[in-house]
Structure 1
Amino acid sequence: MGFSARAPIVTCGLAGRPAALGAMPVVMLREEAVALVGRIYEAAAIPEFWPGVLGSISRSIDGVGACLFTPDGRWIASEAFAEEVDLFISRGWLERDTFNARLEASGRGGFVCDLDLFRREEIDREPVYADWLHPRGLGWGASSLMRLPHERTVFINVERRRGRGPVETPFVRHLNQLHPHIARAAMISSHLALERTQAASSALQMVGVPAALLRPGGRVEHANGLFLQLQPQPVRECSAELVLANARAQAELALTLAEIEGGHGLGRAIALPAQGERGAYVLHVMPVRGAARDVFSACTAMVLATPVVARPVLPADLLVSLFDLTPAEARVAHKIAAGATVETIAETLGVSRETVRSQLKAALAKVGLTRQAELVGLLASIPAGHPRMGDAQ
Structure 2
Amino acid sequence: MVTQARLNDFEQQQSQLLQTLYQTTLESAAWDTFLRQLVTISGSRSARILVMDRQAEKVLNSSKVNIDDDEHRRYVAHYVNRCPWRPELKQKLPGRLYNTHSDFSCDQQAFYRSEFFNDWARHLDIEHGLCGTVFQDSHYAVQLLVQRTGGQGAFDLGITQRINQLIPHVRQALQLSRQITREQTRQGLALRVSEQSFMPYLLVDGHGSLSYACPRAREILTRLPGVELTAQGLQFQCRHQQRRFCLSLQSVLKGPVAGQSADSSLTLINGALPVRLLVAPAEAPTAASTCRELWPSSAVATVFIQDSAEQLWVDECRLSQLFGLTPAEARVAAGVAMGQELRTLADLGGQSLHTLRTQLKVAMRKTGVCRQAELAVLVLRSAALRDRYDDVVPRVQSGSVPFG
TM-score, normalised by the number of residues in structure 1: 0.63
Match of 1:300 among 294, 298, 311: 298
Match of 2:349 among 356, 360, 364: 360
How do 1:1-393 residues align onto structure 2 when only pairs under 5 Å count? 24=3, 26=5, 27-29=7-9, 30-71=11-52, 72-81=58-67, 83=69, 86-107=72-93, 109-115=95-101, 116-117=103-104, 118-204=106-192, 206-207=194-195, 209=197, 210-215=201-206, 218-225=207-214, 239=230, 240=232, 245=244, 249=248, 252-253=251-252, 255-256=254-255, 272=264, 275=267, 281=278, 283-284=280-281, 293-295=293-295, 300-304=298-302, 312-314=313-315, 335=335, 338=338, 340-343=340-343, 345=344, 357-361=346-350, 384=386
Q: Distance in 2 between matches of 1:334 and 1:40?
A: 54
Percent identity over paired residues: 12
- Residues 181-220 of structure 1, C-alpha deviation per residue, up to 9 Å, x if partnerless? 22222222122222222222432353255452424xx331
Q: Distance in 2 between matches of 1:247 and 1:33?
A: 47
Letter in 2 for 1:101: P
Letter in 1 for 2:168: P
Q: 1:140 to 1:312 in 2, by over 3 A?
A: farther
Q: Secondary structure at the match of 2:130?
A: strand
Letter in 1 for 2:349: L
Structure of higher CA gyration radius: 1
Q: Secondary structure at the match of 1:70?
A: strand
Q: Secondary structure at the match of 1:74?
A: strand
Q: Distance in 1 between matches of 2:14 and 2:332?
A: 74
Q: 1:313 to 1:132 in 2, by over 3 A?
A: same
Question: 1:144 offset after TM fit, Å?
Answer: 2.2
Q: Distance in 1 between matches of 2:233 and 2:385?
A: 38
Q: 1:58 to 1:84 in 2, by over 3 A?
A: farther
Letter in 1 for 2:66: A
- Residues 134-189 of structure 1, C-alpha deviation per residue, up to 9 Å, x if partnerless? 23211211112123454532111111223322112222122123222222222221
Question: 1:372 offset after TM fit, Å?
Answer: 5.5
- Would the aligned equivalents of 1:74 and 1:294 in 2 still touch at CA under 8 Å? no
Q: 1:238 to 1:64 in 2, by over 3 A?
A: farther
Q: Distance in 2 between matches of 1:160 and 1:125?
A: 18
Letter in 2 for 1:86: H
Q: Distance in 1 between matches of 2:246 and 2:17?
A: 52
- Would the aligned equivalents of 1:65 and 1:159 in 2 still touch at CA under 8 Å? yes
Q: 1:228 to 1:157 in 2, by over 3 A?
A: farther
Q: Distance in 2 between matches of 1:333 and 1:287?
A: 26
Q: Distance in 2 between matches of 1:214 and 1:386?
A: 34
Instruction: Report how many aligned residue pairs link the two structures.
Output: 315
* Cα RMSD, aligned residues only: 4.7
Comparing 114-123 and 97-106, the one that deviates more: 97-106
The aligned counterpart of 1:14 is none
- Would the aligned equivalents of 2:249 and 2:301 in 1 still touch at CA under 8 Å? no
- Residues 250-283 of structure 1, C-alpha deviation per residue, up to 9 Å, x if partnerless? 563464499xxxxxxxxxxx97358585679562
Q: Distance in 2 between matches of 1:341 and 1:314?
A: 19
Structure showing greater relative contact order (alpha-carbon pairs closer than 8 Å, 6 or more residues apart):
2
Q: 1:114 to 1:49 in 2, by over 3 A?
A: same
- Would the aligned equivalents of 1:147 and 1:154 in 2 still touch at CA under 8 Å? yes
Comparing 27-36 and 134-143, the one that deviates more: 27-36
Q: 1:300 to 1:89 in 2, by over 3 A?
A: farther
Q: 1:85 to 1:110 in 2, by over 3 A?
A: farther
TM-score, normalised by the number of residues in structure 2: 0.61
The aligned counterpart of 2:369 is none
- Would the aligned equivalents of 1:67 and 1:75 in 2 still touch at CA under 8 Å? no
Q: 1:333 to 1:121 in 2, by over 3 A?
A: closer
- Would the aligned equivalents of 1:51 and 1:76 in 2 still touch at CA under 8 Å? no
Q: Distance in 1 between matches of 2:109 and 2:12?
A: 41
Q: Distance in 1 between matches of 2:126 and 2:149?
A: 5
Letter in 1 for 2:299: A
Instruction: Say which structure is richer in helix.
Output: 1
Letter in 1 for 2:195: V
Q: Mind listing any 5+ residue stretches in structure 1 that lack a counterpart? A: 1-21, 259-269, 316-330, 346-355, 363-368, 389-393
The aligned counterpart of 1:264 is none
Q: Distance in 1 between matches of 2:73 and 2:193?
A: 39
Question: 1:28 offset after TM fit, Å?
Answer: 3.0
Q: Distance in 2 between matches of 1:253 and 1:205?
A: 16
